Chain A
Amino acid sequence: MPVTVDAAHREVAGLYNEHHRWLSAWLRKRLGDAHQAADIAHDIFVRLLAREEPVQAREPRAFLTTVAQRALFSHYRRQQLERAYLEALAHCAPQLAASPEERAILLETLVEIDRMLDGLPAVVRKAFLLSQLDGLKQAEIAQELGISLASVKRHLVKAGMHCIFAVAP
């Protein structure tokens, strides 16, 4: 049974028809891999479909380039995390996450946390992780990072607020 397609979806369908091949080619040039380029292009359109507001882009290709750059960035970031994660698993805790499914869920958790902390300065991030992951007291964090107690408190509040506004509902 056909579902009524509303205006926003029709707009995305239009973007898809006219620019999908171009976008895939753009991504392929940067990734050097046609399958990945196709996956990311697909992902971009799925995300556009989920928007409630119409896009109304005057320069569709400029708009798509911006969206694609963001998608590429998170793709790279994810791969970087994935690599660091596999190394860390091998070195720190080979007994952790024995099955592929467990490994995937643990990685998903880390990707979520990384996304949440994205944009914070390294020291702020580190302080927050020490507090929330290791349960260190503020004084211990101050000692560990060689900063004042007041700075720790300021960093933790900053990171917490950042997360509140970053976390997906």
Chain B
Amino acid sequence: MTQAVHDIPAHVARRAVEWMLELQSAPATPALRQAWSDWRAAHPTHEAAWQRVESVRSRFGGLAGVSGAAAVAHATLSARSRARRRSVQALAVLLLAGGAAYTVEQRTPWRQWAADHRTRPGEQRRIVLADGSALVLNTDTAINVRFAAGERRIVLLRGEIFVATAKDRGRRFLVEMPQGLAQALGTQFSVYSEAQRAVVQVFEGAVEITPAQAGSPARLLRAGQGADLSAQSVGSPRPVGDADRSWVHGTLIAKSMRLADLLAQLSRYSPHPLVCSDAVAELRVSGAYPVAQIPLILESLSATLQLQIETQTRFWGRQVVQVRLAPRGA
């Protein structure tokens, strides 16, 4: 999360702003667009600076072009520091009015907020740990890394990780989640944890799983096995295969999957829910879907299944509520 914004040199930031102003000032010619994309590609800091520009622009995105919003914004933002003294009553009124905003800010639990490594919905990240073990964080995931003399411990706060452990005789490799503990025995495996349950899948070697509740029996999973896990118990092993770790390479593989189930899976990679109408929920789909390209997947599903895409927004398009697939003409 600590993106090194200060690594962007001032002259690069200046150039990025100049590009923004230039592109805003007139309809861009193909030559200008080409020059702009060449500049972005020329150096990683250029692209990084441009991403900051986009991020600045997005702050204004919801306000621009909406009648009334700009006037309100000007009036609000030009409020200068007047008297700082406030009567208690005035504070009470303002706090009531601002109550909703305040709860929005407080929703993020601090443990996830303060996590060592995090991904946002739709983002995946690869990490090599100090011991050489490799981790892949799937969408919307937060972990802490706790290495000590006797053990290597990953605390999975939420989401899903794939682990390929490096050999280290002296130190156990553990993944801790609210539902329990998975100890790797020279291996490749994945762990997914959500509110009530967790899923452990083993692709190489073996993993011993211990539910969080004291006295619950542990279970050993071998390569090709996966199981659900609650704080009390480990479910029966079921077979897992390469399709279950295809997300590590950015792909979701569906074999004759219900459309509703596929959309539920893809929703994890999307900032807003993806749903479909009941009429088409049972349609079966197969394919390898690139999870980083949700809009493309929706386009392709809509084309092959003859569906229409309905995007529900509010706040003048600033926030997408959900995207829904429905029969055409419905």
A residues contacting B by CB (< 8 A) are: 1, 3-4, 6, 9, 32-33, 36, 46, 49-50, 52, 76-89, 91-93, 95-96, 100-114, 116-117, 122, 125-126, 129, 131-135, 137-138, 153, 156-157, 160-161, 163-165, 167, 169
Contact = CB atoms under 8 A, between A and B. Distances in A.
A103 B76 CA distance: 13
A37 B263 CA distance: 45
Interface residues of B, number: 75
Interface stretch (B90-98, B131-139, B247-255): B90-98
Contacts, number: 187
B60 A113 contact: yes
Given A88-B72, A109-B59, A52 B2 contact: yes
A101 B79 CA distance: 23
A3 B69 contact: no
A3 B155 contact: yes
Main secondary structure of the interface of A (DSSP, over half): helix
Contact of A92 (B5, B71, B144): B71
Contacts of A86: 94, 97
27 contacts: A1-B176, A3-B155, A4-B153, A6-B146, A32-B88, A50-B114, A86-B97, A88-B72, A101-B100, A105-B315, A107-B101, A109-B318, A112-B59, A122-B80, A132-B57, A132-B64, A133-B63, A137-B25, A138-B25, A157-B21, A160-B17, A160-B21, A161-B14, A164-B16, A164-B17, A164-B49, A169-B5
B110 A92 contact: no
B18 interface: yes
Interface of B: 1-3, 5-6, 8, 10, 13-14, 16-18, 20-21, 24-25, 49, 52-53, 55-57, 59-60, 62-82, 84, 86, 88, 90-91, 94-95, 97-98, 100-101, 104, 110-111, 113-114, 144, 146, 148, 153, 155, 176, 178, 180-181, 212, 314-315, 318-319
Given A95-B68, A161-B10, A76 B84 contact: yes
Contact of B318 (A49, A95, A105): A105
Contacts of A77: 81
